[in-house]
Structure 1
Amino acid sequence: MNVLCAEHENILGMCWLPKDDVWTSKAKLNFSSKRRGIHLEDDLKEEQLHLIPDNLTHRMVLSQVAGIYHHLGLISPNILSAKILMRSTCSKEIQNGWDEPMSEEMRVKWIQFFRGLYESQSITFKRCIMPENAEGDPILVIFSDGSQPTYSACAYIRCQTNKNTYESNIAIGKNRIAPTKQLSTPRLELCGAVLASRLVTELDFRFSKIVHIIDSMIVRAQIQ
């Protein structure tokens, strides 16, 4: 169910719902022509995805993807899907030109991506990641991984709320698409660990402990 309502604020590419004090994403698709930089028609709603042009071009999807901005990276999986699709689109079909209709197979994949954007609007994230009853300094837990064709990292803040109770909230996430030059999986996992280490500098908190979690003994050995 779409949680967007009339009372929301757009901040850093996300929607803030003050009533519940949560973040949620907002899908925005518009394939209509522009006049003086403004679309002539309203943005598409979720039930209007069938109105996506049959002659969908590479320039059209690039314009839609370029309009997605999310500083905190809470919907990184969706954005990563777009990066992978763009690379696949460019490597296979761009020889025909940016304004030539893409193949039906690729068009179906892009429609699935756009549908996923609307579905992600039902996911909410707490704006305040530090609960009011937190005791002491929190723990920062960072996960990282890498494989073909991407590597990524995300950070959670874990707070103790009483003697035996803890609360964890996601704080930030980052991902990168792997270079076109083929890299081994251990090398990509190491890139993910480097990305994880950089997340620490983006969080202005004092932590009692910072824990980096990886699932590769090879990367651990490389770091050591």
Structure 2
Amino acid sequence: MFRQIRLHEDDSDFQRVIWRKDPSEIISDYKLTKVTYGTAAAPFLAIRALRQLVHDEGHSFPLGAKAVARHSYVDDILCGAANVIDAMDVKRQLIELLVRGGFPLSKWASNEPSLCSDDENPSKIFSDSEVVATLGVRWSPVLDTFSARVAHPTGREAVVTKRTVLSEIARLFDPLGWMAPVLIVAEIILQDLCLSKVGWDEVLSLELIERWQSFRSSLSKLEQISIPRWVGTKEANVSFISLHGFCDASERAYAAAVYLRVAGEGEDGYVSLLAAKTKIAPLKLVSVPHLELCAAVLLTRFLVKIVEGLQFVSVPVFCWIDSAVSLAWIRGHPSRWKTFVAHRIAENQTSLPGAQMSYVNTKLNPADAATGGISPDELMDSSLWWSGPPWLAGWEEGWSCGKPESSGAEDSEMRMAVNHSATSLHNSGDVFQRFSSYLRLLNVMSLCLRWLHNFRDKNHKRSGFVSPEERAQAAG
């Protein structure tokens, strides 16, 4: 992609190279006229060129411009339409727009066979058996499903060290958090490695090696999980769409999971997992209610990004939490609580003012699975994780999950009230209004009393700095 972007002639002087094929030849001076891969500015320049293309030519290809502006990630563009006719228009405009800017499509695929007609160039179309891999996931156009990409161990690491473990964890990429209940185990193991203070190339303890090898050997099963791409938002009979976010926390991690519910008039809804996000609990000791509150903030920030990304501005948002203490904090005014709680409550209430936070039983909270970790087999069979609690598919009247039982623990974070009382001074004249501070008033009164003392007792006159005894006499 970078090599398809031509530089301005004035800028090409900054990409000069000297080169010769043989030491016997004279060194030649070259100027690179296109964006060079490996430079710090290359990704920005590539994306900026696409944005400029949308700005310059987007009015002629509105559907293609929308696909480039909102559905592109570097050199990958993932877009779609509600029906085949609209998809045909998107495809045509997208190809014409990119060709106009000098960015011809190298390969493309579709889950609709008619969009891959025989008159197309076969070299530009993925075959039916191929899987399109992008952004850490694999998409099967034939099945129209997503699956995970797992980097299999190379087998070269004979010794398990912190360096090799970190290297393999870094290759686990799950951008939408679908595999979060499994991958959170890797993050917990990595935190335990840091706590053990073992060197980067030292052999790990037997207990850590067994935990890591058990986790690594189960990763291949993640590729068997299939996630439907289509969530039904553009179906003709869809009348109600809502977002539901669940959050939970444990002593080791906290998590948030967001679900999309679509329903037709008089029908039960279809619920699907959109995305999830996890974070490891800090090493500093934090109470579980505080971590639950951090999970609620994580959920709020996550929902804000999803609402903006999917342009669900008018879609109702519901939040669910299984902590009675945190729920009591969230429902109270921030001024009632101490600083840690007050700041997070204020962010929670202002970021999504229209969201409704409610209680959900822990057993029906799907985010609970992503706070402690489960095996790939359990994840594959977990309908709670993939579709949310069973009652969510029904109508709103049946979304009652019971009432939280308050233990009164939330009162421990109540802000202390300090009352200050002052007595009024009678018959004091305006003497207190004539001085800027009480200390200055004492010094002046002390000097006045000194003058009176020296006048009465000329044999024992006082002088020098005002003494503490004189100030005490003045204050009395």
Structure 1 residue 216 and structure 2 residue 319: aligned? no
Partner-residue secondary structure (3-state), 1:24: strand
Structure 1 residue 15 and structure 2 residue 138: aligned? yes
Alignment of 1:131-210 (within 5 A): 131=233, 132-203=235-306, 204-206=310-312, 207-210=314-317
Which amino acid is 1:16 matched to?
Answer: W
Counterpart of 2:231 in structure 1 is 129
Q: Per-residue deviation at 1:162? A: 4.8
Which amino acid is 2:271 matched to?
Answer: S
Counterpart of 1:48 in structure 2 is none
Which amino acid is 2:184 matched to?
Answer: L
Counterpart of 1:118 in structure 2 is 220
Counterpart of 1:60 in structure 2 is 164
Number of paired residues?
199
* Aligned 8 A contact 1:26 1:118 in 2: no
Q: Deviations over 1:16-67 (max 9, x none)?
A: 1111111111211344xxxxxxxxxxxxxxxxxxx57442121111111111
Which amino acid is 1:192 matched to?
Answer: A
* Aligned 8 A contact 1:23 1:127 in 2: yes
Structure 1 residue 92 and structure 2 residue 215: aligned? no
Partner-residue secondary structure (3-state), 1:165: coil
* Aligned 8 A contact 2:157 2:164 in 1: no
Report the Cα distance in structure 2 between the residues aligned to 1:122 and 1:52, rounded to whole angstroms. 25
- After superposition, the CA RMSD in angstroms is 1.9
Partner-residue secondary structure (3-state), 2:269: strand
Q: Deviations over 1:75-119 (max 9, x none)?
A: 11222111100011221151xx21122222211111111123211
Question: Greater relative contact order (Cα 8 A, min sep 6): structure 1 or 2?
Answer: 1
* Aligned 8 A contact 1:153 1:174 in 2: yes
Q: Deviations over 1:128-168 (max 9, x none)?
A: 22353451241101100111111100000000045222100
Report the Cα distance in structure 2 between the residues aligned to 1:10 and 1:98, rounded to whole angstroms. 32
Q: Indicate how the Cα distance of structure 1 residues 113 and 6 shifts in structure 2: closer, same or farther if over 3 A, else same.
A: farther
Q: Indicate how the Cα distance of structure 1 residues 123 and 161 shifts in structure 2: closer, same or farther if over 3 A, else same.
A: farther
Counterpart of 1:75 in structure 2 is 179
Counterpart of 2:29 in structure 1 is none
Partner-residue secondary structure (3-state), 2:172: coil
Report the Cα distance in structure 1 between the residues aligned to 2:204 and 2:197, rounded to whole angstroms. 7
Which amino acid is 2:162 matched to?
Answer: H
* Aligned 8 A contact 1:144 1:153 in 2: yes
Q: Indicate how the Cα distance of structure 1 residues 29 and 101 shifts in structure 2: closer, same or farther if over 3 A, else same.
A: farther
Report the Cα distance in structure 1 between the residues aligned to 2:212 and 2:156, rounded to whole angstroms. 10
Percent identity of equivalent pairs: 29
Q: Indicate how the Cα distance of structure 1 residues 6 and 84 shifts in structure 2: closer, same or farther if over 3 A, else same.
A: farther
Q: Per-residue deviation at 1:212? A: 0.4
Alignment of 1:36-55 (within 5 A): 51=155, 53-55=157-159
* Aligned 8 A contact 1:149 1:178 in 2: yes
Partner-residue secondary structure (3-state), 2:256: strand
Q: Per-residue deviation at 1:189? A: 0.4
* Aligned 8 A contact 1:155 1:170 in 2: yes
Counterpart of 1:45 in structure 2 is none
Report the Cα distance in structure 2 between the residues aligned to 1:6 and 1:110, rounded to whole angstroms. 34
- Kindly indicate which of the two structures has a greater share of residues assigned to helix: 2
Report the Cα distance in structure 2 between the residues aligned to 1:205 and 1:170, rounded to whole angstroms. 17
Partner-residue secondary structure (3-state), 1:99: coil
Gaps of 5+ in 2: 1-127, 332-476
Report the Cα distance in structure 1 between the residues aligned to 2:288 and 2:202, rounded to whole angstroms. 35
Which amino acid is 1:55 matched to?
Answer: V
Which amino acid is 1:223 matched to?
Answer: I
- Kindly indicate which of the two structures has a greater share of residues assigned to strand: 1
Partner-residue secondary structure (3-state), 2:227: strand
Report the Cα distance in structure 2 between the residues aligned to 1:160 and 1:8, rounded to whole angstroms. 31
Report the Cα distance in structure 1 between the residues aligned to 2:300 and 2:251, rounded to whole angstroms. 21
Counterpart of 2:88 in structure 1 is none
Counterpart of 2:210 in structure 1 is 108
TM-score normalised according to structure 1 size: 0.82
Q: Indicate how the Cα distance of structure 1 residues 218 and 85 shifts in structure 2: closer, same or farther if over 3 A, else same.
A: same
Report the Cα distance in structure 1 between the residues aligned to 2:305 and 2:260, rounded to whole angstroms. 13
